[in-house]
Structure 1
Amino acid sequence: MDKISIAIDGPASSGKSTVAKILANSFNFVYVDTGAMYRAITFLAIKHQVAFSDEEALAELTKRYPINFQQSVHGQLVFADGEDITQAIRQPDVTAAVSEVSAHRKVREELVEAQRQLAQLGGIVMDGRDIGTTVLPQAEVKIFLVASVEERAQRRYKENQEKGIEMDYEMIKEAIAKRDYLDSHREVSPLVQAADAELVDTTGMTIEQVVTKIKEVISSKGF
């Protein structure tokens, strides 16, 4: 298969990361979890007691603590300054603050540049909230995943349980709805479907069905 770039965007818990990982493995592409990068900066802000409103200090964290990914038998691991933070960035305190941190222009500029560097050689699947519109506007395939708030909250609740993270379903649902609003109304790179992206509503669909649908879209484009 051609070493194309596949951009997958959508709101929280729409299935982006799960689908992106499967596609990357299927095509032997590199997977870049951009959401994990913003979560990493949020985690670092909490760890180093940097205010979520301090744009300059947050941007400095992106330079001081390089973020990278490593594959392991347990899946993709996330590191910041050599520390494995894979589980730490999925904790409720990070989830609650990541939208505020990622809304800062200078933070996004630093991380977008890092993401573009990772995508230079192609053969990549990248997921996030502004990949098709801002990070990789030239991507050959763009997918925009959506699902109902209720279904996304149920997915996150189940995922947290499997990881041993206890969080009330209604609280998760409220947090997702709030994040939808913040992500779609932020001034810098708001969550929006790219004009040339294919909309895929995953409500009621299994992961396998979503992957099959996206592969059909890729095939229809001649890849």
Structure 2
Amino acid sequence: MPVEPAPTRWSFPALDQDGPPDDLVGLGADLEAGTLLSAYRAGIFPMPVGVAGEPMHWFSPVRRAVLPLDGMRISRSLRRSVRDFEIRVDTAFEDVVDGCADLERDSGWIDADIRAAYLRLHELGWVHSVEAWRGGELAGGLYGVAIGGLFAGESMFHRERDASKVALAGLVDLLSDEHADARVLDTQWVTPHLASLGVVEIPRADYLARLRAALRLPLPAAFA
């Protein structure tokens, strides 16, 4: 089971119907394990802006992207690809993070501080990787924060065609238990690629209501 870290010394804004009108809701704080968990439990996540000396930026999108577990779109070609890969959990976490942080990728944001912070959360049992393997090689994967019924996806990557999509399909399978209707698979913001897979946007208030219910659920068996 995950180990609860020391509580954060920072406070995060209350996000209700009258909350901040923008996605950016805070600046500063730190990336200690207790701070990160407090943020995710409040519907907030960090993201560096890639400028030296700038404080950490904390976001809670006004329109939050989620993937309904019964709504992932799996094409015929992806369904064939699923059969070609093996899904594993937490067998190559650092490799997955490093794949996601590849400096050759566009819009990379995973710096050394973010890497260290999420590795620490992984060691405590709060962050997990879902990996697509083929022929004994890591072909792609994703990682994210699991708290009760919340899985907050952070990033994904692939080295072979469809591997990241296969990992996402594997994650959906892992979350699809008797609590599936109340679980939340959070993808932060929607992109054309994610929308093609079934990701939708919901208002922040709806997300927070779903989050509160999800946090009361047990972890999926794969992450417990």
Check whether TM > 0.5: no
Give the structure with the larger strand fraction.
Answer: 2
Query: Shorter-chain TM-score: what band?
Result: under 0.3
Bigger helix fraction: 1
**Which structure is richer in relative contact order (CA contacts within 8 A, separation 6 or more)?**
1
